[in-house]
Structure 1
């Protein structure tokens, strides 16, 4: 609600004020001034508002500004006036986003590997327009928290948009896929062959964006790093693999695939130190069943895609965790241990 106080005004004086050349932008400029220069801690007086409007070649008087401030509520901009000393001070009291919410969005954008540095800065600049210039400084400081590795594929926005369009149109997509070589050059995989995939969803894992789709030729679900997809186009063919995705939980799929690397899905039983209970819950969720085996350990069974990435995760937790079944996975871990010992064996 706008709280404004009308002051005495001489109606005859209104006709003596020359109109500026940009009068038609008056309400827009007033909204811009209030949004940029005021917040819960920063106010602006009526003379200052009129002075700021004049910088845009917009003339104004007190009575018209009062009316315009009321009209801002139609645009969703709520302004309040508070008496401080012998003057009223005005400020915006509500916005679409609170500053802590925007900080969360900035952090998410900044930490996303699949968004380029250029696009990151552009997005954050747009977010800054949603707060006052004072609060925008806090968002700017957020940008320099850390220099994370970012993708160099500028077309990712259009790739994501193309994927969503294909899903909406129930069509397959075609694209080429690349990797980096030792010369730091983009190198098309499979000699530039086109991938023909039925897109069913997108997954964000380990700060990367993945397309999850059905490969009809291989007759299986596969995933692809979105920032490594090139020259994407929609196919005329309808999507396939619906029966697979009807029973696929995308969140569960990402949880089972460590780093989105695939492997044979198996139920793995592990013995874990109690001190690592939080690690297990963080990875597999609170619904995971942890059965005490003694005062210091518990066992847990989880469904995972057994890959080197999963085994590497087990290695990273040291002696606090041990795979105890099934035997096939235990043997895979033993083989991986032997491989590493051979790889790092000191020369005789």
Structure 2
């Protein structure tokens, strides 16, 4: 007599072994037959021996071992080790651009790669100070559209917004579409940026992907390849995104010696450092000068000061003279 789902026997057997067994949990042949019966599958021991061997040949490692008078079977190697999955779960939970809902969905999918017992080990909550999860899931579909546009050599159009004082989305350019040729996606400081050629501005610009709405592929081929290729991608990304944008220029800094580690961490080993005396050194860095960059200097409490160029010094003077409290 055969069960209702007899043709699915091998598939259900693989599912049972992958979900119900691991290195510390195994099933006897009687238990395997009982699990199959729950899915309306009746089988003889001999056929299960053959099926387990077939799964092992296919690549689902089935380990057979003795426990006293019983023979037990469990699934061995996995696509992911539990330590790797914990790492992925931590990364997903700590990422602010992934919404709470999508976080749960992704972790659930990761749990499908391990046993139900190991899945409990993934039930962990990573606490990250000041980390606010993204509330809008449209970013996933926008990123997918942007990748498609880049691979298909298509220009795109989208609407771009800023937050107003009421906490509402307010579209720029009076709600008109931006026409852009996408050339690269950049991930920096927990955010995705599109690097693209703005058709209307005739320049390479960056856009926060989470602030893009109604992303659409057009039938037009991309433009601005020569302008994009002129960019030093690694340096441009580091300088532009790390300090939030602005014109790139060489800035000279006078720094306390204990700030050497801070300067190299921030600007990399390409930063030019030269000792002045036993207490100070000078550093030349290429950076997009902005209020954020100047604020970073202020936060170092006088241990780093700007010595040139004059334009950067004047911007700093203007910043510190502003009224920040009332």
TM-score (norm 1): 0.86
Larger CA deviation: 265-274 vs 159-168 = 265-274
The answer to whether structure 1 residue 277 and structure 2 residue 260 are counterparts is yes
Question: Shift in Å at residue 157 of structure 1?
Answer: 1.9
Asked whether 1:121 is paired with 2:97, we answer no
RMSD: 2.2
Are 2:260 and 1:250 aligned? no
Deviates more, 1:26-35 or 1:40-49: 40-49
The aligned counterpart of 1:305 is 288
Contact 1:255 1:283 in 2 (8 A): no
Q: Secondary structure at the match of 2:14?
A: helix
Match of 2:223 in 1: 240
- Aligned partner of 1:158 among 136, 141, 147: 141
Match of 1:21 in 2: 4
* Residue 324 of structure 2: aligned partner: 343
Match of 1:328 in 2: 311
Whole-angstrom CA distance in 2 between matches of 1:115 and 1:222? 24
Matches within 5 A, 1:117-266: 117-142=100-125, 148-259=131-242, 261-266=244-249
CA shift for structure 1 position 336: 0.9
**CA distance 1:201–1:67, shift in 2 (3 Å):** same
Matched with 1:91 is: 74
CA distance in structure 2 between the aligned counterparts of 1:57 and 1:203, rounded to whole angstroms: 51
Distance 2:37 2:230 in 1: 63
Indicate which of 63, 74, 87 corresponds to 1:104: 87
| Aligned residue pairs, count | 326
Task: Give, in angstroms, the shift of residue 220 of structure 1.
Answer: 1.8
